[in-house]
Structure 1
Amino acid sequence: MRVCVGTTVHHPEDARITHRQIGALLDAGHEVTFVAPFTHCNVTPRPGIRAVDVPRAVGLHRGKALRAAASALRRAVRDADLLLVHDIELLLALPRRRPPTVWDVHEDTIGALRAKAYLPGPLRTVLPPLIRAVEGRAERRLHLILAEESYRERFPGPHPVVPNHTYVPPAPPAPPGDSRVVYVGQISLARGAAEMVEIARRLRPHGIRLDLIGPADAAVRPMLRDAQRAGLLDWFGYVPNNHALRMAEGALAGLSLLHDVPNYRESTPTKVVEYMARGIPVVTTPLPRAASLVGRVDCGTIVPFGDVGAVAGAVVQSVLRLREDAERRAAMGARGYVEALNHHHWPAVAGAFVALLERWAQAADTVPALSPGRTVPA
């Protein structure tokens, strides 16, 4: 099977797209053409794929990227058996002549609008009905896979769920240490950037450092640079997901301080599962799914929402309690690892994901024909 995968919004090393889905397709012996912003993100395409470079869609200036993507997709799908796209924007750039097409829904597009500071006020009112119209058209005309069960409220059709699992090491990682706290992922205000800088400031007198591993939104980069110059934290910038998680191993705790915004409210933060997979106790804000998972497994602590100072204070207290009790943090890390290995390991669903695409590539129609409520795996 020849699969064309496309994105202009996500990083070409996005964990779900590249490390999980494309990796699973290549492991199954399929050919992959990947349309993505390699040059913009300074990424060398991984071996084994046919790479097509396009501009990245950023902020309000997305017209050039969309036109380039439309042209690239027209060329890339000529010999493809299936087209898999990851951005709602690409639904506006699909070739008229194309193979069976799949949209992987792994964001609440409307819910994410609140976190996009660059959007002027009027657009925040105009965009939601337009997005709903595009989503509705896609549901009628394309195959959809969903990253979260909660997305069924937006897409009531019988669409399979391909969960955002991670790779879990086959052997338990080293137990948590006592000298550093980590954060892995995109850094933004809505993901707790200001809180983390304050946490770093308060932890420094205790000899605990904060490692931030991931790219940052333009709005918070000056704040992070200033904090790094002052010696409050280490910000490593973008690091490929598998390397970033190895860097995180041995940390005292992993932070997930997402704000209470619609885009995060009904999702299980991937970073929570990634920390668990690496044997790291989690410190999370009380988003329902994150709090439910961490509380049920007892693999970390839950801190309340609040202003920057209040959240920072609660996190620092939790971190200091963990440092004082090596047995407790080791037990939390071990419980999290076992839970991740048994229930959130990507290879356990990778085969079903590939089989799903294989079936759609061979189907003559373009309408999903699955039993309602089906999840991958069942």
Structure 2
Amino acid sequence: MPALAGGGAERVWAVLASAFARAGHQVIFAVDFDRPENRSFLDSRVRLVTLHTNHALAVLKLAALIRRERPDATLSGIGAANLKHSLAALLAGRARRALISYHGFFPSEPQRLSRWGNQLTPLLTRITGRAVAVSDGLRNALVSHHGAEPRRTQRIHNPVDPLGAPEDLSREALAAREPLVLFVGRLVVDKDLPTLIAAFARVTHPGARLDIVGDGPLRPELEAQVAAAGLAGRVSFRGYIADPAAAYRAARCLVLTSRFESFGNAVAEALAHGLPVVTTAAAGPAEIIEQGRYGTIVPIGDADGVARALNAALADPGDPAPRQAKARQFSVDNAARAYLELIEQMIAENPR
């Protein structure tokens, strides 16, 4: 990964690396530069190595690390890291032991190096050992639209840390919470927070409030939109929170209004906490809640639809138990086991 910054993919890999370490594997976590946001999710048994902020030097240092350590497998996530990892593995003569992973639809990664890495998907998925997509919707897009090698491209859902979710939450206890709507995510274009704010202005449930947990470049614009809509007393910007467990435990429902979402960690985390989910019809969240079985799906950009769904969820948040049972599908152990099985396949196909 480029760094342990405050993104979903970064947390996913910190959690996975820690799970591998707990299972008794020696794990090295290589980053281009140091960031603290998700470092707390990294187990102390994982060895953290900083490469270099210069992309070329980072590739060379990673290749040297691979040659020196000769790991059984190397793994990476997101476009830029996948590209640099593939180059380093080639230089080290270990490309067939490399696993690359995709965590977002390509419009969500506009940075130049990520664009190059994503554009080279047909090549990278053929020279490396395996490629992973975090949802069926993303895998389908990779294979059907971006030329990924279908036999080597597999889906493994993101692991989701339940973050201390209550195991005995009753329907009555959830309904007794204050009418707090929760959003968790980066404040970026893909999340379409202007639609969320417009929708919340139309929510009529008595006393309803909205907590926005996360940070990003659009925060000043969104704060201005909230003020212009007269919502300053009802909408709070909480900033990035490394462990949002308390936010989930306080909320009555979760909302996500994304235009592009390959998975949606917050959706799975909300289910783990028993919360009803209101989401737009982005591929990942719709897949998680099984096309509406475990939440409510509204069309992308439909502020009125979001408002109606939030009013309904606040009025009757329903039974937490089926949602929490569904969330167990995305356990850290399940994801780690799936990755380790792929690694075993790569080792069997490409012995030293």
TM-score bin, normalised by smaller chain: 0.7 to 0.9
CA distance in structure 1 between the aligned counterparts of 2:318 and 2:33, rounded to whole angstroms: 39
CA RMSD of aligned residues (A): 3.5
Aligned equivalent of 1:136:
122
Aligned equivalent of 1:70:
59
TM normalised by structure 2 equals 0.76
CA distance in structure 1 between the aligned counterparts of 2:351 and 2:121, rounded to whole angstroms: 19
Distance 1:221 1:80, change over 3 A: farther
Q: 1:86 aligns with which of 68, 77, 82?
A: 77
Q: 2:346 aligns with which of 360, 367, 376?
A: 360
Give the CA deviation at 1:249. Answer: 2.4
Say whether 1:235 aligns with 2:237: yes
Say whether 1:28 aligns with 2:14: no
CA distance in structure 2 between the aligned counterparts of 1:251 and 1:33, rounded to whole angstroms: 37
Q: Percent identity?
A: 19
Give the CA deviation at 1:254. Answer: 0.5
Aligned equivalent of 2:331:
345
In structure 1, stretches of 5+ residues that fail to align are: 1-5, 56-63, 367-378
Preserved CA contact (<8 Å) 1:12 1:41: no
Preserved CA contact (<8 Å) 1:145 1:162: no
Aligned equivalent of 1:335:
322
Q: 1:15 aligns with which of 11, 14, 20?
A: 11
Instruction: Say which SS state the counterpart of residue 157 (structure 1) adopts.
Output: helix
Distance 1:72 1:186, change over 3 A: farther
Aligned equivalent of 2:50:
53
Say whether 1:283 aligns with 2:290: no
Give the CA deviation at 1:39. Answer: 3.1
Instruction: Say which SS state the counterpart of residue 150 (structure 2) adopts.
Output: coil
CA distance in structure 2 between the aligned counterparts of 1:12 and 1:361, rounded to whole angstroms: 30
Q: Which runs of 4+ in 1 moved over 6 A?
A: none
Aligned 1:1-378 pairs, distance under 5 A: 6-8=1-3, 11=6, 14-19=10-15, 21-36=16-31, 39-41=34-36, 44=39, 46=42, 47-53=44-50, 65-77=54-66, 78-81=68-71, 82-90=73-81, 91-92=83-84, 93-95=87-89, 96-99=91-94, 100-109=97-106, 111-112=107-108, 116=110, 131-132=118-119, 134-146=120-132, 147-150=134-137, 151-152=139-140, 153=143, 154-168=148-162, 169=165, 171-173=167-169, 175-176=173-174, 177-203=177-203, 206-216=206-216, 218=217, 220-226=218-224, 227=226, 230-240=232-242, 243-259=243-259, 261=260, 264=261, 267-287=262-282, 290-291=285-286, 294=289, 298-306=293-301, 310-311=302-303, 313-325=304-316, 329-331=317-319, 333-341=320-328, 343-361=329-347, 364=350
Residues 99-130 of structure 1, C-alpha deviation per residue, up to 9 Å, x if partnerless? 42211222333x436xx4x88xxx9xxx68x8
Paired residues in the alignment total: 323
Preserved CA contact (<8 Å) 1:284 1:291: yes
TM normalised by structure 1 equals 0.72
CA distance in structure 1 between the aligned counterparts of 2:210 and 2:64, rounded to whole angstroms: 45
Give the CA deviation at 1:281. Answer: 0.4
Give the CA deviation at 1:286. Answer: 2.3
CA distance in structure 1 between the aligned counterparts of 2:213 and 2:54, rounded to whole angstroms: 27
Distance 1:348 1:89, change over 3 A: closer
Preserved CA contact (<8 Å) 1:66 1:89: no
CA distance in structure 1 between the aligned counterparts of 2:24 and 2:33, rounded to whole angstroms: 23
Give the CA deviation at 1:136. Answer: 1.9
Aligned partner letter, 1:148: S
Aligned partner letter, 1:107: G
Instruction: Say which SS state the counterpart of residue 249 (structure 1) adopts.
Output: helix
Give the CA deviation at 1:222. Answer: 0.9
> More helix per residue: 1 or 2?
2
CA distance in structure 1 between the aligned counterparts of 2:344 and 2:160, rounded to whole angstroms: 22
Aligned partner letter, 2:219: R
Preserved CA contact (<8 Å) 2:190 2:258: yes
Preserved CA contact (<8 Å) 1:191 1:258: yes
CA distance in structure 2 between the aligned counterparts of 1:15 and 1:345, rounded to whole angstroms: 14
Instruction: Say which SS state the counterpart of residue 85 (structure 1) adopts.
Output: strand
CA distance in structure 1 between the aligned counterparts of 2:167 and 2:273, rounded to whole angstroms: 10
Give the CA deviation at 1:210. Answer: 1.2
Instruction: Say which SS state the counterpart of residue 27 (structure 2) adopts.
Output: strand
Aligned partner letter, 2:12: R
Give the CA deviation at 1:361. Answer: 4.6
Preserved CA contact (<8 Å) 1:22 1:32: yes
